[in-house]
Amino acid sequence: MIDYHAPLRDMQFILDELAGLPDVAALPACEEASPDLVAAILEEAGKFATGVLAPTNRQGDLEGCRLEGERVIVPEGWQAAYDQFCESGWLGLSLPEEFGGQGLPKLVSTPVWEMWFSSNMAFTMLPQLNVGQAEALLIAASEDQKPTWLEKIVSGEWAATMNLTEPQAGSDLAATRMRAEPDPGGDYRLFGQKIYISYGEHELTPNIVHLVLARLPDAPEGVKGLSLFLVPKYRLEADGTPGEKNDVRCISIEHKMGIHGSPTCTLSFGDNDGAVGQLVGEPHQGLKTMFIMMNEARFGVGVQGLALGERAYQAALEHARERVQGRNVVSGETGLPILHHPDVKRMLVGMRARLLAMRTFLYTAAGWFDLARHHPDAEVADRHRRYVDLLMPVAKGWCTEIGNDLCDEAIQVFGGMGFVEETGVAQLFRDARIITIYEGTTGIQANDLLGRKILRENGETLRELIDDIRACARSVGKDDRLTELATSLDEMLDTLAATADWLLAQGKERTAALYGGAVPLLHLLGTVCGGWQLARAAQAAQRQLDADEGDADYLAGIIDLARFYMASVAPEAASHARAVRDGGNVLAQFPETRL
């Protein structure tokens, strides 16, 4: 079994020096996030992840879930882990105090959730659903509904699900068919089938609250006719306690490549008298609510990419330090651990460099969420909201792709032992394979980035971002010792700016060609963002070194990692840019019939 240890030093360095914890803690409603409290939370979370969640991860993979009649049995360790998780108050960390949460900023909850995902992703999807549903209810539920549902969801007393997908409506929610009919009693009755519902059924909690996208009888066609409903597994009594079983059944669970501990259910609503539910928000406005939540949801999956990559890196590094094999290709020496082989070292340094890039990027973005929500200056808040909008497809698409790459490289470090399930690294690789798919595939993220986030606003926010990164490069370049980093960053920026200019100069008739280059564009922007964050990290490390603060060896390592990224990852920016321009062009002229 592979261990997990929260990378507290990296987390703390990024929070303090790069992601703006002091600024966030100065915001109204975030004052509690004092340095001491944050450090204590991270430490406690690290212990919980290492001691409670990580040890159940492999067992959950081996046991998986099973359907017995309509009952879903989850891995044995889940109940104790879930109870402890809720009792320790982890679920409500970032949720409002009004409903029993702790109201801490996203910047603080982000590293904590990263730890949960690292230690046991399949399990963590369960409480994550509560957070997602709570966020939806905070946006859309009526003042009457909130106390009834939110307290149970925030405490974890009841579990939550999100019901979007149907067999014909996967990426395209416009095709949703689930019906909701008004009931004379004032509620609604739902009829239809939902698939791929994570934790759609289990017996860990006395009730499960399904948030369901469905159509009212008078709904317009397409996405503008979708409404949101709360459908509990057990209908609520007048006093709000679970009563009679609702008309919802789990009719099958999926046999998946990974996240075996997370049951993926097909739910059938209304096989009898209809599943009783409440409308949440205005009729036909369901997708709007989902859209508001989308940035948070995407961000969360991006964090999964970081988290799985981190655990894979830890496993690979430990293995590379322990496994003795082969003759050093340079010195001829034997009896050395494989970490001394240049190629193994290359993989590990590359993994760590990309982890540092992703973590700095994601934590910085977490800070943007907080600034967008709480900054008293509307202009500052708006700028951060626009950055969130522009970059969430990148946070999701790029970090999940890189997360998969890191799990893949970890197997390569293990060699044959990585292909064997016992070492645990194969599980990470299998688990990770879903993250570039759910919450919108990489292709969908890329289309969103190109269409809604760049073309629609004529590249305005992207240009703002490029100016910001340019300013960073200038600032970094002032230090002679970091000039090379600044030069590489500038070079990437030139490539990005030229690509943006080219994209924006194309006429409507060339749109198909542009979308053929959307994924390379996402990779280009991700690669630039990673380099940007590492340049910032190197600058901060150099500043601390000069001030004789912190661990000099650690800080020098940060600068080394930035250098390695610039040497080995940054050059990909140019090839992505070529694929955007030339690849899309060739594609547009390629008849599908020739495949």
The answer to whether residue 439 is catalytic is: yes
Q: Specify the residue for token string 């499960």.
A: 208
Question: What DSSP string runs through 150-184?
Answer: HHHHHHTSSEEEEE--BTTBSS-GGG---EEEE-T
Task: Compute the least distance from the CB of residue 253 to its own copies, in Å.
Answer: 10
Please measure the distance between the N-terminal and C-terminal CA atoms of the chain and give it in whole angstroms. 44
Query: Segment near its own copies (CB under 8 A), from 75-83, 123-131, 209-217, 428-436?
Result: 428-436
Q: Which two tokens stand for residue 142?
A: 């009526």
343-372 residues in contact with its own copies (CB under 8 A) are: 343-349, 352
Amino acid identity at 234? Y
Q: How many residues bind its own copies (CB under 8 A)?
A: 98
Task: Compute the least distance from the CB of residue 341 to its own copies, in Å.
Answer: 7
Q: Which is nearer to its own copies, 226 or 371 (CB)?
A: 226
Task: Compute the least distance from the CB of residue 188 to its own copies, in Å.
Answer: 27
HEC letters along 259-304 = CCCCCEEEEEECCCCCEEEEEECCCCEHHHHHHHHHHHHHHHHHHH
Q: Which is nearer to its own copies, 58 or 233 (CB)?
A: 58
Q: Is the distance from CB of 399 to CB of 358 less than 8 angstroms?
A: yes
Q: How do strand 179-182 and strand 264-269 relate by DSSP bridges?
A: unpaired
Measure the CA–CA gap between 221 and 203, rounded to whole angstroms.
37
Measure the CA–CA gap between 330 and 327, rounded to whole angstroms.
8
Q: Which is nearer to its own copies, 94 or 495 (CB)?
A: 495
For residue 396, state whether it binds its own copies (rule: CB under 8 A): no
Q: Taking CB under 8 A as the rule, which mask of x and - marks residues 266-305 in contact with its own copies?
A: ----------------------------------------
- Of 8, 29, 504, 587, the residue at the interface with its own copies (CB under 8 A) is 587
Q: Which two tokens stand for residue 163?
A: 């019901």
Name the active-site residue from 114, 439, 549, 592. Answer: 439
Measure the CA–CA gap between 132 and 163, rounded to whole angstroms.
12
Task: Compute the least distance from the CB of residue 191 to its own copies, in Å.
Answer: 23
Residue 163: exposed, middle, or buried by beta-carbon count in 10 A (0-12, 13-18, 19+)? buried
Q: Which two tokens stand for residue 364?
A: 């910085």
Nearest CA-CA partner of 556 in 481, 479, 477: 481
For residue 437, state whether it binds its own copies (rule: CB under 8 A): yes
Task: Compute the least distance from the CB of residue 15 to its own copies, in Å.
Answer: 21
Task: Compute the least distance from the CB of residue 377 to its own copies, in Å.
Answer: 36
Q: Which residues 6+ apart lie within 8 Å of 453 measured at CB? A: 389, 390, 393, 461, 462
Measure the CA–CA gap between 592 and 584, rounded to whole angstroms.
14
305-344 residues in contact with its own copies (CB under 8 A) are: 317, 324-327, 329-330, 334, 339-344
Size of the chain in residues: 595
For residue 579, state whether it binds its own copies (rule: CB under 8 A): yes
- DSSP single-letter state for residue 237: P
Task: Compute the least distance from the CB of residue 208 to its own copies, in Å.
Answer: 21
For residue 138, state whether it binds its own copies (rule: CB under 8 A): no
Q: Which is nearer to its own copies, 383 or 581 (CB)?
A: 581
450-479 residues in contact with its own copies (CB under 8 A) are: 451
Backbone angles phi, psi at 210, to 5 degrees: -90, 125
- Of 434, 449, 476, 538, the residue at the interface with its own copies (CB under 8 A) is 434
485-544 residues in contact with its own copies (CB under 8 A) are: 511-513, 515-520
Task: Compute the least distance from the CB of residue 45 to its own copies, in Å.
Answer: 23
Q: Which is nearer to its own copies, 502 or 554 (CB)?
A: 554
User: How many degrees, rounded to 5, is the angle at CA 207 between CA 257 and CA 200?
Assistant: 20
- Max Cα-Cα span within the chain: 83
Q: Which is nearer to its own copies, 23 or 479 (CB)?
A: 479
196-255 residues in contact with its own copies (CB under 8 A) are: 196, 254-255
Query: Segment near its own copies (CB under 8 A), from 4-12, 66-74, 149-157, 434-442?
Result: 434-442
Q: Which is nearer to its own copies, 128 or 198 (CB)?
A: 198
User: How many degrees, rounded to 5, is the angle at CA 491 between CA 486 and CA 497?
Assistant: 120
406-425 residues in contact with its own copies (CB under 8 A) are: 408, 411-412, 415-416, 418-422
Q: Which two tokens stand for residue 395?
A: 């946070």
For residue 89, state whether it binds its own copies (rule: CB under 8 A): no
Q: Which two tokens stand for residue 296?
A: 């948070």
Q: Which is nearer to its own copies, 177 or 245 (CB)?
A: 177
139-178 residues in contact with its own copies (CB under 8 A) are: 165, 168, 170-172, 174-175
557-576 residues in contact with its own copies (CB under 8 A) are: 557, 560, 563-564, 566-568, 571-572, 574-575
Q: Is the distance from CB of 407 to CB of 308 less than 8 angstroms?
A: yes
Q: Which is nearer to its own copies, 275 or 317 (CB)?
A: 317
Q: Which is nearer to its own copies, 360 or 488 (CB)?
A: 488
Task: Compute the least distance from the CB of residue 122 to its own copies, in Å.
Answer: 13
SS3 16: helix
Nearest CA-CA partner of 7 in 297, 344, 358: 358
Task: Compute the least distance from the CB of residue 172 to its own copies, in Å.
Answer: 4
Measure the CA–CA gap between 172 and 166, rounded to whole angstroms.
10
Q: Annotated active-site positions, please?
A: 439
